[in-house]
Amino acid sequence: MKPEEGVRIELKQVTKAYGDKRVLDELNLVVEAGETLVVIGKSGQGKSVLLRLSAGLERPDSGEVLLNGVPADTYRIIPAQKKPFRMAMVFQGSALLNSLSVFENVALYLKEHGMAKGEDLDMLVMNALTSVELEHARDLYPTELSGGMRKRAAIARALATRPDVLLFDEPTAELDPLLSAEVAEVIHKIQSAHRMTIVVVTHNLVFARQVADRIALLEDGRIACSVKVSELLNAEYPPLRAFIEAAALA
């Protein structure tokens, strides 16, 4: 379970329902250590639920979610200092703490767990903010930011924890094409810097092609198909085809 070896995410026969509605239905998925997987799928298909389960924020009704063999919900409650690896998540709605400034939001994890202070902390936070071009907004509060700025602050907050696994829910939904490209650049940098396992949920196929090793389509509660990014444009599975054509990639 050494982080150098990366973290493998495995979902086995995962079922999750809310009331009568089965959102995930015996879903199977493996994200290999060091892999970047992009999950696409229509709105309301359960992509965010898939990420919440992977982060151990919720428990599946049946089946297992394993992070290097450890059930995700068990992993979740291990105290920060004892965790075998770190996982960060960027939420669809950013989920910044409204009572804290951008700087404090990004610094929160390191400060809370005594992992950095003083100038060190300052530098780590500013590095994270600079990588998403938000250094000028350090003293603003979340309510003073645009949607795209909030998203970038949330990305910075995740990066500042120096994670081994990163879960991204729609990282580019509110960003213009230039900023999306910047975020793709940030992801490239962290991919090459260390063996990080990344799961990205996005509707943005241009972005998906920039960052993904593999693209998986979530449909009717399961992974309906998954293709290497190099084979995306040749994919024949009709629902995936429909996505590709709608995005005018081919």
Ligand X SMILES: Nc1ncnc2c1ncn2[C@@H]1O[C@H](COP(=O)(O)OP(=O)(O)OP(=O)(O)O)[C@@H](O)[C@H]1O
44 binds, among other proteins, ligand X, Mg ion, none (CB under 5 to 8 A by kind): ligand X
Residues lying near ligand X in the complex (CB under 6 A) are found at 18, 23, 41, 43-49, 92
Site for other proteins contains 147 (CB under 8 A): no
Gyration radius of the chain's alpha carbons: 18
CB distance 182 to 174 below 8 Å: no
Interface with other proteins: number of residues (CB under 8 A): 22
State the Cα–Cα distance between residues 192 and 134, nearest whole angstrom. 22
State the Cα–Cα distance between residues 149 and 137, nearest whole angstrom. 9
DSSP 59: -
Site for Mg ion contains 48 (CB under 5 A): yes
238 binds, among other proteins, Mg ion, ligand X, none (CB under 5 to 8 A by kind): none
Least distance to ligand X, CB of residue 234, Å: 25
| Cβ-Cβ contacts under 8 Å for 224 (sequence gap 6 or more) | 217, 218, 237, 239, 240
97 binds, among other proteins, Mg ion, ligand X, none (CB under 5 to 8 A by kind): other proteins
Least distance to ligand X, CB of residue 143, Å: 22
Q: Per CB under 8 A, which region of 89-97, 192-200, 207-215, 216-224 contacts other proteins?
A: 89-97
Q: Which of 27, 55, 211, 215 binds other proteins (CB under 8 A)?
A: 55
CB distance 164 to 84 below 8 Å: no
234 binds, among other proteins, Mg ion, ligand X, none (CB under 5 to 8 A by kind): none
Long-range own/partner contacts, residues 102-105 (CB < 8 A, 24 or more apart): 102/129, 102/134, 102/137, 102/138, 102/139, 102/140, 102/141, 102/142, 102/145, 102/153, 102/156, 103/129, 103/138, 103/139, 105/142, 105/153, 105/157
Query: Residue 204 or 210: which CB sits closer to ligand X?
Result: 204
Q: Per CB under 5 A, which region of 22-30, 84-92, 148-156, 224-232 contacts Mg ion?
A: 84-92
Site for Mg ion contains 172 (CB under 5 A): no
Least distance to Mg ion, CB of residue 76, Å: 20
CB distance 65 to 49 below 8 Å: no
Catalog residues that contact other proteins under the rule CB under 8 A: 52, 55, 57, 76, 79-80, 83, 87-89, 91, 93, 95-98, 108-109, 112-113, 157, 161
